[in-house]
Structure 1
Amino acid sequence: MVTGTGLVERAGELRELARRRAADAEEQRRLTPDVVAGVLGGGFARHFVPVGFGGVEGTFREFADAVAVVAEGCAAAAWCASVASSLARVAACLPVEGQADVWGGGADAFVVGSLSPLGKAVPAPGGWRVSGSWAYISGVDYSDWVVVCALLPDRTGARLFALPRGAYAVKDTWTGSGMRGTGSNTVIVDDVFVPESRSVDRQRLSDGHTVPIQAVNGLSCAPAALGAARGALRLWTRDTAQRLARGAGRVGGPGPALSTYEAVLTRSSGEIDAAALLLERAAHVADRGARITEAETARNVRDYALSTELLVAAVNRMFATAGTSGQSVENPLQRAWRDVNSIATHIALNFDPAAVLFASRPFALEAA
């Protein structure tokens, strides 16, 4: 693992805390306050914040490694840690005056949000008036700021807007079967004035900022699935070893044969390793910044989706041979199974759009 800011090492400490609090987070449908404090104290929020505002401008490789480490203990905690980093990187697109507002109280401000253009914005003297609702805003109960996206009149474009806590309401709507601890509730903004300095054209994200958003979007999601799958492998191996010690796997006995367990271990661990290698390369490419080519962007998008498919296959295979005990609510394996399958539904990890993007250039060249 790449180290630089110490984020990965601190993530190891957060992993153990998050593991102990995972059941509580599930029950409460949001992280516990001490885990949120660990996310912020561990440096996730400041990881992509400009140095001039107290951040460290860290690498994508270190970020992805750290998120995966936390997810070995609790995927929901890792997801919110990823949000804290990723949305701060989005906020860094704001004009300098807006950045000063967001990080005036320190670089560990917890920024959450949505890039989906689900709101409406109309010009007003000195800025904009914004309204709308945005669902699935992970970590919002603990947020200091939210960045939301709204359409301009006559759908002439879309802009991002940063609002401080108090300028938006939170509606408790999160009831997902997986990633229950993320507290992904709904943000509601009712005709709030946002100054021009806290707004930016959404196209800025695609045009590059420091790196095109499409080249890194999946990297905010897939590492959490990777860590959760690694955690599932550890749990499955431990439980299976105990099952074998009690006589499972014997010829003529109940349940799968020993060879079945051996095949599951070998194939699933290989798929997890393969996914990790794909994400490692994607993060390395992301760290090249604005020098990323269109072909590399398409490959990154493909690899986010493909690595997630590998992780889902690995976890599903393990869970299918975990027996009835694996489905017990007391067994964290079932949580990892639900979490990985839930993460895989994120739009940034959808394989078909990735395939369209990846195949468009080669097929276009062949047809020319």
Structure 2
Amino acid sequence: MTTVLTPTNSLRSAPTNLSADDVVQASEDLVPLLRERAAEVDERRRISDDTYRRLGDAGFFHVLKPKKYGGLELTEHEHARIAMNLARGCASTAWVFSILSSDNMAILAYPEEVQEEIWGEDSFATLAGNTNLNPKATATRVKGGYRLTGQWGFCSGSDFSEWLIFNAPVGDDGEGYMFIVPKDEAETIDDWYPTGMRGTGSRTMSVTDVFVPEHRAQATRDTVRKLKERRALHPTFSTMWATWPSSGRFPFAACAVGAAWGATEHFASTVGTSTRVAGALGGAVRLADQDYVATEFGQAEGDVQMARLLIEKRSFEASERARQHRESTEQEIGRDLRDNALVTRTALRSVQTIFSLVGAKAGKSDHPVSIAKRDVEMISHHVTLNWRQNTVRYLAAVS
């Protein structure tokens, strides 16, 4: 079992006095430290307790949280910008932030009783898990709730979360239900050994005949409707009007673009003193003196900057729709999903270019560009970033 930071959370005061500018600046300020720790995170396959505490102290887990529970009630725009900044230093750290912060919105779909249970005494409490339906899991109705058994992989952030959410079939028709359970009632299976994003703690979580009370279980198909109903509980929190699952938040693509951004920054800061072997018989050439390096780097960095700007624009637009209490149209959702995949493809191409420019030295597992490349490659395979699937949906929306 991995360490969980529960004993001290209840002693911490929620960072309610922070502004949007404060939290975005805090994410920029953390970049140098995260860069120093990135290789250790990659090797240990988890972020450190100190790093996690710093994320909480900076207010990042309160960005998408209502004021009633010490939240800052900020927007998808700040969320995307924070994720990109953190990923410049360490994409795994950015991913943990992005997942645990985004999952606050899942909690808000549940009754006030559940929200109180999770945040009433600890506003720093977080939710991890896997919302994909596991058809092999079982959820049996019993008096007052359900008995839940099953395993769910890819539970990012579960190294630290106090709560978990799982999707299991219920009844003869196997309809998906979302169940929220305390982390201490689950078992961690340490099976997270990927090539990239190694520090996200996306391990498999297992529960065996765990009782889940009725108020912590609800049909997956009801999530959007329930979120709308809960708006009355938090009338000043405009992000309650955002699309769920969020496309405007760019929760995964922002991490990919941020990691590629960090790789271009590293290359720019080191190219002046970097060399490559001149040929099979030896010798060396300065990278900064090679025309091909200038053209390839210029393209890669420019593409990353365009991807950054697109995320900032789309996340701002999504936030404005929520602020105006206007639900996104199918065309807007389709466009945002397309752009999620588009900027990730751009980030992947760019970081692979930077890797090639560095040469064999980038093959070392602790090289910053090696880590960034492996991280972006891993992110690019996330189901929400499927280019063909998202472009087909976009075309159907606009035609």
TM-score (norm 1): 0.91
Structure 1 CA distance for aligned equivalents of residues 223 and 382 of structure 2: 19
Give the conservation status (yes or no) of the 8 Å contact 2:155–2:205.
yes
Structure 2 CA distance for aligned equivalents of residues 128 and 269 of structure 1: 52
Partner secondary structure for residue 140 of structure 1: coil
Which residue of the partner structure matches residue 79 of structure 1? 95
Give the conservation status (yes or no) of the 8 Å contact 1:131–1:192.
yes
Which residue of the partner structure matches residue 267 of structure 1? 299
**1:40-79 alignment, distance < 5 Å:** 40-79=56-95
Give the conservation status (yes or no) of the 8 Å contact 1:14–1:42.
no
State the Cα distance separating 1:185 from its structure 2 match: 0.6
Structure 1 residues 6 and 358: CA distance shift in structure 2, 3 A: same
State the Cα distance separating 1:224 from its structure 2 match: 0.9
Give the conservation status (yes or no) of the 8 Å contact 2:330–2:397.
no
Partner secondary structure for residue 151 of structure 2: strand
Partner secondary structure for residue 358 of structure 2: coil
Partner secondary structure for residue 274 of structure 2: helix
State the Cα distance separating 1:142 from its structure 2 match: 1.6
Partner secondary structure for residue 205 of structure 2: strand
Give the conservation status (yes or no) of the 8 Å contact 2:170–2:176.
yes
Which residue of the partner structure matches residue 37 of structure 2? 21
Which residue of the partner structure matches residue 46 of structure 2? 30
State the Cα distance separating 1:194 from its structure 2 match: 1.1
Of 202-211 and 102-111, the range deviating more from structure 2: 202-211
1:281 maps to 2:313: yes
Which residue of the partner structure matches residue 251 of structure 2? 220
State the Cα distance separating 1:100 from its structure 2 match: 0.6
Question: Which stretches in structure 2 are left out of the alignment for 5+ residues?
Answer: 1-18, 229-239
Which residue of the partner structure matches residue 236 of structure 1? 267
Structure 2 CA distance for aligned equivalents of residues 70 and 26 of structure 1: 15
Which residue of the partner structure matches residue 322 of structure 1? 358
Partner secondary structure for residue 250 of structure 2: helix
Structure 1 residues 10 and 218: CA distance shift in structure 2, 3 A: closer
1:200 maps to 2:218: yes
Give the conservation status (yes or no) of the 8 Å contact 1:285–1:296.
no
Which residue of the partner structure matches residue 188 of structure 2? 170
- Over the matched positions of the two proteins, sequence identity in percent amounts to 30
Which residue of the partner structure matches residue 123 of structure 2? 107
Structure 1 residues 317 and 205: CA distance shift in structure 2, 3 A: farther
Structure 1 CA distance for aligned equivalents of residues 102 and 298 of structure 2: 34
Structure 1 CA distance for aligned equivalents of residues 25 and 54 of structure 2: 13
State the Cα distance separating 1:247 from its structure 2 match: 10
Partner secondary structure for residue 67 of structure 1: helix
Partner secondary structure for residue 381 of structure 2: coil
Structure 2 CA distance for aligned equivalents of residues 215 and 102 of structure 1: 22
The one-letter amino acid paired with 2:361 is S
Which residue of the partner structure matches residue 299 of structure 1? 335
Which residue of the partner structure matches residue 187 of structure 1? 205
Partner secondary structure for residue 155 of structure 1: coil
Give the conservation status (yes or no) of the 8 Å contact 1:98–1:199.
no
Cα displacement string for residues 117-158 of structure 1 (whole angstroms, at most 9, x for unaligned residues): 113323222222222111011121222111111121223521
Structure 1 residues 106 and 113: CA distance shift in structure 2, 3 A: same
Partner secondary structure for residue 224 of structure 1: helix
Of 278-287 and 350-359, the range deviating more from structure 2: 278-287
Structure 2 CA distance for aligned equivalents of residues 134 and 156 of structure 1: 17
Structure 1 residues 217 and 132: CA distance shift in structure 2, 3 A: farther
Give the conservation status (yes or no) of the 8 Å contact 1:71–1:225.
yes
Of 230-239 and 283-292, the range deviating more from structure 2: 283-292
State the Cα distance separating 1:225 from its structure 2 match: 0.9
State the Cα distance separating 1:254 from its structure 2 match: 5.6
Structure 2 CA distance for aligned equivalents of residues 187 and 155 of structure 1: 25
State the Cα distance separating 1:176 from its structure 2 match: 0.5
What is the number of residues matched between the two proteins?
A: 358
Of 64-73 and 151-160, the range deviating more from structure 2: 151-160
Which residue of the partner structure matches residue 237 of structure 2? none
Structure 1 residues 336 and 265: CA distance shift in structure 2, 3 A: same
The one-letter amino acid paired with 2:128 is V
Which residue of the partner structure matches residue 150 of structure 2? 132
Partner secondary structure for residue 116 of structure 1: strand
Which residue of the partner structure matches residue 10 of structure 2? none
Structure 2 CA distance for aligned equivalents of residues 159 and 61 of structure 1: 30
Cα displacement string for residues 80-101 of structure 1 (whole angstroms, at most 9, x for unaligned residues): 0111201122111111001111
Question: Which stretches in structure 1 are left out of the alignment for 5+ residues?
Answer: 364-368
Partner secondary structure for residue 216 of structure 1: coil
Which residue of the partner structure matches residue 150 of structure 1? 168
Which residue of the partner structure matches residue 7 of structure 2? none
Structure 2 CA distance for aligned equivalents of residues 317 and 206 of structure 1: 41
Give the conservation status (yes or no) of the 8 Å contact 1:285–1:292.
no
Partner secondary structure for residue 208 of structure 2: strand
Structure 1 CA distance for aligned equivalents of residues 330 and 266 of structure 2: 40
Of 206-215 and 106-115, the range deviating more from structure 2: 206-215
TM-score (norm 2): 0.84
Q: CA RMSD in A?
A: 2.3
Give the conservation status (yes or no) of the 8 Å contact 2:167–2:176.
yes
Cα displacement string for residues 39-91 of structure 1 (whole angstroms, at most 9, x for unaligned residues): 22222222212221221221010111011111111111111011120112211
